Amino acid sequence: MKIIRSIKKMQSLSRQLVADGLTIGLVPTMGFLHDGHLSLIKTTLKKSNVVITTIFVNPTQFAEGEDLSKYPRDEKGDIRKIKDAGGTIVFVPKPEDIYPDGYETYVNVESLTQTLEGKSRPLHFRGVTTIVAKLFNITRPDVVVFGMKDFQQAMVLKKMTTDLNYPIKYLIAPTVREKDGLAMSSRNKYFDASQRIEALCLSHALKKAKQMVKENIKDCKLIKKEMKTVIKATCKTAKIDYIAFTDFETLAPTKIIKKNTICSLAVRLHNVRLIDNAKLM
């Protein structure tokens, strides 16, 4: 397995891989990898000859006051995990190389970024789409895989990939969860044992929503009310950022559950902001 830190070296190797007729898969990450990330690598391995995993904590997607400085990092551990998962290349660029002095060019997807996470975190998605577009240009992938847990991000990046004519096969892999249902996230490490139990409020709320839909209750307002009750019952101090019901593809809001409706939510617990989602029909 190769570890590359230079943009020029990564570009040169990518060109050589393309010239050799190999299919390149890309898994962009911010590091501190868990089994969810590793599942993306394994999925990509089935679709490509070479898998490039990137490790880069992207500063442009963090707003002032967010957890950029304390975002968990474990490069040595990440590299070991990537190797064990079958990864081929690890690309670890430096922030000053990605965003040199005087940098002022950004990529933005308009409408899909104005709701949910985009509404709560202005400019967040501009940072995400910019870094991923740069990684596409550097690594030249044929296949890219993103996780369903970051559903809106996956749809925004899918739109960017289509609109900018990247010749890339785009895949969205299922959310990987702990045995108790908590969606895997690098930020889960912030919780102590009791807080970790309270973090289950998101998955409990989504289970409640699914149950209500099975019982033919499709009024989003009623479902949202019950989800709030479940969240507060699990964690009294939880602060709900949003609970939203939207179309899977367009993210257009809906008042009644119908085919391709997805429920997304963001909740802050003990100063940690978690997101989760589930397709309801």
pTM of the model as a whole: 0.93
Run of H or E including 106: none
Q: Please name the residue that has the structure tokens 């989003």.
A: 220
8 Å CB contact between 155 and 148: no
65-82 burial code (b ≥16 CB/10 A, e <16): eeeeeebeeeeeebbebb
Condensed to tens digits (0 to 9), the pLDDT of residues 35-44 reads 999 999 999 9
Q: Please name the residue that has the structure tokens 């702990």.
A: 178
186-279 topology per CATH: Pantoate--beta-alanine Ligase; Chain: A,domain 2 (3.30.1300)
8 Å CB contact between 125 and 108: yes
Q: Please name the residue that has the structure tokens 């925004």.
A: 156
pLDDT at residue 178 in the model: 95
Cα separation, 3 vs 53, whole angstroms: 10
- Tokens representing 106 are 């950004």
Q: Give the mean model confidence (pLDDT) for residues 2-30.
A: 98
Percentage with pLDDT > 90 across the chain = 97
Q: Give the mean model confidence (pLDDT) for residues 201-207.
A: 98
Q: What is the largest CA-CA distance in the chain?
A: 58
Domains of the chain by residue range: 2-173, 186-279
pLDDT at residue 179 in the model: 95
Report the top-level CATH class of 2-173.
Answer: alpha beta
Cα distances from 230 to residues 33, 198, 235, in angstroms, run 30, 11, 9
Beta bridge partners of 2: 89
Cα separation, 45 vs 206, whole angstroms: 31
pLDDT at residue 29 in the model: 97
Amino acid present at 125: F
Spacing of C-alpha 187 from chain mean position: 12
Residue 67: pLDDT band by 50, 70, 90 thresholds? Answer: confident
Mean pLDDT over all residues of the chain?
Answer: 96
Beta strands in 75-132 (DSSP E): 89-91
Q: Please name the residue that has the structure tokens 């490069």.
A: 75
> Would you name the residues annotated as active-site residues?
37
Condensed to tens digits (0 to 9), the pLDDT of residues 242-270 reads 999 999 989 999 999 999 999 999 999 99
Cα separation, 86 vs 131, whole angstroms: 24
Beta strands in the chain (DSSP E): 2-4, 24-29, 50-55, 89-91, 143-147, 169-173, 239-247, 261-269, 272-279
pLDDT at residue 151 in the model: 93
Q: Is the pLDDT of residue 94 over 90?
A: yes
Cα separation, 57 vs 47, whole angstroms: 26
pLDDT at residue 64 in the model: 86
In this chain, the answer to whether the domains covering 2-173 and 186-279 adopt an identical fold is: no
Condensed to tens digits (0 to 9), the pLDDT of residues 107-166 reads 999 999 999 999 989 899 999 999 999 999 999 999 999 999 999 999 999 999 999 999
